Structure 1
Amino acid sequence: MDILVRSLVIFAFLWFVVRVGGKREVAQLSAFDMILLITVGDLVSQGIVQEDYSVTAAIIAVATFTLAGILLNDLTFRFPRFRPWLAGRARVVVRDGEPLLQTLAGERMTIQDLHEAARQNGIRRLRDIELCVLENDGSFSFFTRNDDKDDKDGSSGGPDPLG
């Protein structure tokens, strides 16, 4: 029973740390960040199982984390009012070609992170972006001015996916 309680406490703490820590994709993590995460994993496991290295302790800890994750997802589904608080919300980081620096700072992201994500999506200049949204999972969704032009004149180059 002790391992179950410890697992729940560590799960709640890690959930809080991830929520406060900002949105970043694993692909955006540096080598140091990855090493830090692995080290945190080892420290967390020691805190959960103390000196009980049995298979049963490991199964209880993993099962507790799994069930807590499922419960958290279920809560976000059943209670939409709490979804932004539990799962986060998407944030607009560029509007009409202008980066929203306060929003980026609030998400602990730099303008360089934004430029890198834009380049990875084939966007050369921020002024070409009508809207950029930082999604809950840390990925960016870009809507460029060219997208609108293609949609308005019907020359998107392919069949309409909706019919």
Structure 2
Amino acid sequence: MDQLFFGGWNNLLRTLIVGVLAYVVLVVFLRLSGKRTLSKMNAFDLVVTVALGSTLATVLLNKDVALAEGALAFALLIGLQFIVTWSSVRVRWVRALATGEPQMLLLRGKILSAALQHARVTEDEVRAAVRTAGLHDLEAAEAVVLETDGLFSVMQRNTGIISSSSLMGVKTADK
């Protein structure tokens, strides 16, 4: 019963020392891996982040896992993420696999119902995105795009010449 609430001073000291060292190792590895590792997260980045957190917890709390093993696990996860992100910048199918594609949800004021179903987004969420962008009417929106990081981008409709170069590569309902 004593172990349930207090495992001894040695266990606390180990957790303290390994926790500080594992944290420092993780921060150093993340800094060395570049800004991409710490950028806005898409689904792939979220998985890597959760795996890093799980590894940190395991190193902290499992006496059978040495700090060197945890550091190797950190390096492996960050290294694999670096390889995938490096490849995704150079190879389109890797990019599509790792990050997905942005999805057009509204075009020229019209909600694309098939796209909403495919993206599992409601009309209310699109309307909220339009309101958040400060637009009073769906017709005032040229486009609403669900980005690969899960955020909505809203482009305001202009009365003049419209250039949609920022919409290149956005998946539409018919693609």
Q: TM-score range by the shorter chain?
A: 0.5 to 0.7
Equivalent residue number for residue 68 of structure 2: 56
Query: Gaps spanning 5+ residues in structure 1: where?
Result: 1-17, 20-25, 27-36, 153-163
C-alpha displacement of 1:139: 2.1
Are 1:48 and 1:61, in contact at CA under 8 Å, matched by a contact in 2? Answer: no
What is the TM-score when the length of structure 2 is the normalising length?
A: 0.53
Q: Distance in 2 between matches of 1:123 and 1:84?
A: 31
CA RMSD in angstroms comes to 3.2
What is the TM-score when the length of structure 1 is the normalising length?
A: 0.56
Structure 1's 48 and 68: CA in aligned 2 closer, same or farther, altered over 3 A? farther
Question: Percent identity of the aligned residues?
Answer: 23
Which residue type is aligned with residue 113 of structure 1?
E
Superposed counterparts of 1:43-122, under 5 Å: 44-45=54-55, 51=62, 52-122=64-134
Structure 1's 111 and 79: CA in aligned 2 closer, same or farther, altered over 3 A? same
Match of 2:156 among 137, 141, 144: 144
C-alpha displacement of 1:66: 0.8
Is 2:137 the counterpart of 1:125?
A: yes
Query: Gaps spanning 5+ residues in structure 2: where?
Result: 1-42, 163-175
Structure 1's 43 and 68: CA in aligned 2 closer, same or farther, altered over 3 A? closer
Bigger relative contact order, structure 1 or 2, given CA contacts below 8 A and separation 6+? 1
Q: Distance in 2 between matches of 1:41 and 1:78?
A: 25
Higher Cα Rg, which structure: 2
Larger mean Cα displacement after TM superposition, 45-54 or 113-122 = 45-54
